[in-house]
Structure 1
Amino acid sequence: MSHDPYLPPDQRRLLSRFWESAAGFWRGGSAWRAWFLVALMVATVFLQLWTQYLLNFWNRDFFDAVGRRDGQELWRQAQHFVPLAAASIFLAIVSVWGRMTMQREWRQWLSSHLYDFWLGGARSRRLRFMLGEHQTPEYRIAEDAKVATDVPVDLAVGLLSSVLNAITFIGVLWSVGGSLVLPAFGRHITIPGYLVLAVVGYSALVTAAMMFIGRHLMRVLGESKRAEADLRAIGAHLRESGEHPLAPDARPDGRGIIGDALAKVIAQWRALCWQLMGMTLVSQTNLLLTPVIGLLLCMPKYLVGLMSLGEVVQAAAAFTIVQAAFNWITDSYARLAEWRSSANRVASLLLALDEVKAEAERPANLDVAAGSEGNGSRAQAGRPSGE
């Protein structure tokens, strides 16, 4: 095995190595099923957007009928709601099936690839003597490979949905909200698309707050997973030492060692708790304030009769949808950090196995080269001088 000092790989190399293996799911024999599931999820996102768009206008028509106290129109709108609700529920179920099927298929493919790489060619035994961050490979394959394949699917579907929702409902906000005229210093100031400007500014504020509070989350998650892996590795080593028939007391200081490892796990868990508490403060505050802010922004035009009750409800709903779309980064920040940590751990295992494979192949190649040279020399020695 190599005795060179171990240098931890940088983030770019880790992510590159992870995707080098994980992207194999979309190639080869599994490609047709993978791309079918991708097409299904994309189609479902577009259909959900269309249904949500129709429900947004249904809100306007329904509450306009409420404002007019029009019982006949209310009954007609109630009938229209039934197929829209049924379509929304059906598409939500299809979305869950497609997303979880993709995650299951991808995890099965990647886990099988990792097991084959780890257990083939006696690499599982050689790996123990390699430097690097590859402790508890069985856990990395069972747990980290799961997170590393689950989260990207959720994030990709969420990102596509957020982009489409933002584009679509910004148009609704612009058309329904229109311009706001404010008196100031004896003049009137016109703010075009004021609801769009408001939702962009508010979303930027929420995103900045979440990024600031959660700026250490990725580091804390990585250290927490590393501490958990160290605790499992030490426990497994102590168990193996205790089960060895020739050295039952090989580690008399084992309780102190595993106690220190447990203390590090608890310390990292406490740091993670504080990070998540701060991020929860921002997310829950935003969840409560967004619909209220949307309604309040519509009140000036509603009170002077420039917006109907239905338009107020429609605009407030669109404001909430757009803000949620812009808020994708803050909503996904914790999961993105979790994915990055798990993907790094899978990549670290892959890089260590790459090194084991290279070390195993290097002596064989040298022997073959030496043998070829020796055979060539003997052949030359055995030839007649006249040849």
Structure 2
Amino acid sequence: MKKIAAQFVDLCRPFWRGKQGLLALLLLVAAISMGWTIVYLNVLLNDWSKTFYDALGTFDSSLLLSLMKEYGIYILIYIVVFVHQDWFTRWLIIRWRSAMTEELVNSWLAKRAFYRMSIVGKIDNPDQRIAEDIGLFVDKTVSLVASFLVVTAQLSSFVIILWELSGVQRFTLFGEEWVIKGYLVWAVIIYTVFGTLITHLIGKRLHGINYEKQRAEANFRASLLRKHDNAEQIALYGGEQQEKSHLKRQFSAIVSNWWRSMNAERNLGFFTTGYMRISLIVPIFAALPAFLSKTVTLGGLMQIRGAFAQVHGALSWFIRMYREFMELSASMERLSQFKQEIKRHQSEDEVVPVGERLQLDQLSFTTPQGSPLLQKVDLSCEAGSWSKFSGRSGLGKSTLLRTLSGLWPYYDGRWQSLEGRSLLLPQQSYLGQGTLAEILCYPHPALADSDMLRQTLDSVGLGAWRDRLDEQLNWDRVFSGGERQRVAFARALIAKPDTLYLDEATSNLDHDAARQLLALVKLALPACTVVAITHQTELDDLFTHRYDLTDFASQRS
């Protein structure tokens, strides 16, 4: 319980103690005030019910007509208040969800934590945690907190009424006379406590089931997205049957979870349904002796029934909200794990010294699981030089470049980076969404004017697109592998980095096209330091330094 409370506070604190906290508090107060107004209306309606049923019993038509008009006024007020309560609640939910989403996305993207989390793979489906778990957490929290404060007012109001209606009951048991004040209050408390305990015993399995449900649903959705993004490759391989089998296995996890949820909900439903139905007649049976002895009128009996129902409803809040509690606890656990993992990976960020040369001193690399890659690498590259790294596949060459770019934290040793900005062009560049102009300037959409963009497209061999800068297409599908690499070089020419890392950045181009692009970089960025990994030996003469990294291979490699 202490852990759950700590998780809850940690998730709530940034919003409620932030700059939006005051307005959020006002919205919460407004929603709760509407709820308390509804409670007050229910108190008035409880008194009204006694008068109405007494008038019904005496066939007082004039009083009945007046009471019906009064009821209409109550209902009109009730509708206005109820709608505004829902409106204030929704306003609060979307503000909190927006702020929490922004805060979590900013943390996830800060200090490249999202990248490090992706290569470790400990946290599944960050998209689902951000898109769905935040919404679930905020919605359930606001609903539960607001309803709890409302039922507290409901309980305090109607328990007094029910106590007064109960009167004093005297009876003889074991030869002694017993006097019980407010016996209906004690009856509803005992009945509700019994129901709450049984509900928890039956339904506690739902926490784990809901956690696995969210995970299974997210895995299936992510798998469908991967199939969509790689449709061409799947079709070329003829892998439809394999993909169908994979999707079927993942969906079977959803089905299995659904059955577990059905069984748990069924077992819980057997009790809660009967419990709630019986609660409708418990107050009638409890007050029946007084009614039969004519000490309580028909109106009084209905008033007792209404007050009992209100007290029972307030005390049964936990039973009615049990499923919401289980959903809240599952989403809260997933979000807490996500935040903790973000903090852990942000703490791995470090400041690397800069100088006039790229210097590596006894630098060793590992996988996230600790398996060794390149070991004790010693080399240096002067500013403005062109260096090529070579070696067999799986050696760790790409890992070396990612370390030099500040991405890879799993290394030991010292190194010094060059001054200025750096840019890494991978084998497959991420194009993203937006217009062609925004794609070329990514991640700085206002970095260049249209004339410069057209000239750049011409220079990298994409002149056919020079007049289509404002078009928005699915660029990952529009451009071929070679064209995507040309777009990457266009980005480099626009960004003008001081250091350019190339990780098989021309592998989809023929040797002549690759040479033209590299020559273009030499011409446009004469002071740029270039460090490249390439298996195209025809380009060797473009580099001032060539390093064979096989000498630094680990025994595992």
* Structure-1-length-normalised TM-score: 0.83
Determine the structure 2 residue equivalent to 1:146: 135
Q: What whole-Å deviation, never above 9, does each CA across 1:65-105 have from its counterpart, x for those lacking one?
A: 22222223223322322322222222111111111111111
Equivalenced residues, count:
359
Question: Is 1:62 aligned to 2:44, yes or no?
Answer: no
Higher fraction of strand? 2
Superposed, which structure 2 residues align to 1:52-131 within 5 Å?
52-131=42-121
Structure 1: how far apart are the matches of 2:115 and 2:233? 18
Question: Is 1:206 aligned to 2:156, yes or no?
Answer: no
Q: What whole-Å deviation, never above 9, does each CA across 1:128-167 have from its counterpart, x for those lacking one?
A: 11252x2221121111110010001110111112222112
Question: Is 1:39 aligned to 2:29, yes or no?
Answer: yes
Alpha-carbon spacing, 1:178–1:13, altered in 2? closer, same or farther (3 Å): closer
Structure 1: how far apart are the matches of 2:102 and 2:284? 52
Worse-superposed segment, 300-309 or 12-21: 12-21
Structure 2: how far apart are the matches of 1:62 and 1:230? 57
Residue 318 (structure 1) shift: 0.6
Question: Is 1:291 aligned to 2:280, yes or no?
Answer: yes
Structure 2: how far apart are the matches of 1:290 and 1:204? 13
**Higher relative contact order structure (alpha carbons within 8 Å, sequence separation ≥ 6):** 1
Kindly name which structure, 1 or 2, has the bigger radius of gyration based on alpha carbons. Answer: 2
CA RMSD of superposed structures (Å): 3.0
Alpha-carbon spacing, 1:172–1:253, altered in 2? closer, same or farther (3 Å): same
Superposed, which structure 2 residues align to 1:263-278 within 5 Å?
263-278=252-267
Q: Which amino acid aligns with 2:301?
A: V
Residue 298 (structure 1) shift: 0.9
Q: Which amino acid aligns with 1:173?
A: L
- 8 Å Cα contact 1:63-1:309 kept in structure 2: yes
User: Which SS does the other structure have where 1:190 is aligned?
Assistant: strand
Determine the structure 2 residue equivalent to 1:229: 218
Higher fraction of helix? 1
Residue 284 (structure 1) shift: 2.0
Structure 1: how far apart are the matches of 2:354 and 2:191? 68
Worse-superposed segment, 342-351 or 315-324: 342-351
Determine the structure 2 residue equivalent to 1:319: 308
- 8 Å Cα contact 2:108-2:342 kept in structure 1: yes
% same residue: 22
Residue 198 (structure 1) shift: 0.9
Structure 1: how far apart are the matches of 2:253 and 2:164? 56
Residue 50 (structure 1) shift: 1.3
Alpha-carbon spacing, 1:313–1:242, altered in 2? closer, same or farther (3 Å): same
Structure 1: how far apart are the matches of 2:63 and 2:320? 38
Structure 1: how far apart are the matches of 2:23 and 2:340? 28
- 8 Å Cα contact 1:241-1:250 kept in structure 2: no
Q: Which amino acid aligns with 1:330?
A: I
Structure 2: how far apart are the matches of 1:59 and 1:311? 8
- 8 Å Cα contact 2:32-2:85 kept in structure 1: no
Structure 1: how far apart are the matches of 2:75 and 2:317? 24
Q: Which amino acid aligns with 1:91?
A: V
- Structure 1, unaligned stretches of length 5 or more? 1-10, 373-387
Structure 1: how far apart are the matches of 2:352 and 2:244? 45
- 8 Å Cα contact 2:112-2:346 kept in structure 1: no
- 8 Å Cα contact 1:107-1:149 kept in structure 2: yes
